A = this chain, B = another copy of it.
């Protein structure tokens, strides 16, 4: 019997990027002045674009990330269509015996409604119930998966018993405009003009995406936050 592993991590690594605040300015200035026009106040121009929702100058860049997360996170992430995705395939390769389970920081109880969730912490008994259940179901499913593969069943058929918290991996590439839309919808922030209520696990990924965005395009990120975290 294979030993399965449980983890509470959502891993996001910036693999490469071609992005800068000055690239936004360069693209925006072609509208008004032709190819070269150095003497611009960058923060002022970026704030003007963000405020007036001129979004296209924020598209001339790209970020490629490696992401390792449970399948239920990928299900939400890949609904964002203005991006590119390549994910590990359970048809082509054997899945790994790694499963997500919440840690003690994960709020387990919805004290709000379905439409407006307000998550609050669970008791330690509730956390234990979830973690034990995650282990037990994952072990049962994994053993079944292995028994099928041992019996010669195709990987694409065998995998159907694996739970939604099975870890998968992907590369994704996105530009800053689409990234702002993703961050806007997948993080919950007091600075947001329109509050989003993402599931915590995708938010853990989105926070790491936002950190990479802020590092590569600090003026653009500052302006995004200042204007209510709404993608232009």
Q: Which residues of A are in contact with B by a Cβ distance under 8 Å?
A: 15-18, 23, 26-28, 30-35, 48, 51-53, 56-57, 59-62, 64, 66, 68, 70-72, 74-75, 78-79, 81, 84-93, 96, 100, 102, 106, 108-110, 114-115, 117, 119, 122, 126, 129-130, 133-134, 136-138, 140-141, 144, 147-148, 151-166, 169-171, 173, 175, 185, 194, 199
Contact = CB atoms under 8 A, between A and B. Distances in A.
Instruction: Determine chain A's interface SS by DSSP, over half rule.
Output: mixed
Question: How many of these chains are in the complex?
Answer: 4
A169 B34 contact: yes
Given A136-B144, A161-B134, A153 B108 contact: yes
Contacts of A28: 86
Given A30-B87, A108-B154, 10 more contacts: A16-B18, A32-B92, A34-B93, A60-B84, A72-B90, A84-B175, A91-B117, A100-B160, A109-B154, A136-B144
B109 A152 contact: yes
B60 A64 contact: yes
A175 B133 CA distance: 43
B23 A64 contact: yes
Given A130-B153, A170-B30, A72 B160 contact: yes
18 contacts: A18-B64, A30-B170, A31-B89, A60-B64, A60-B173, A72-B160, A75-B75, A79-B85, A81-B81, A91-B114, A93-B114, A108-B157, A109-B153, A110-B155, A110-B156, A130-B148, A134-B160, A156-B199
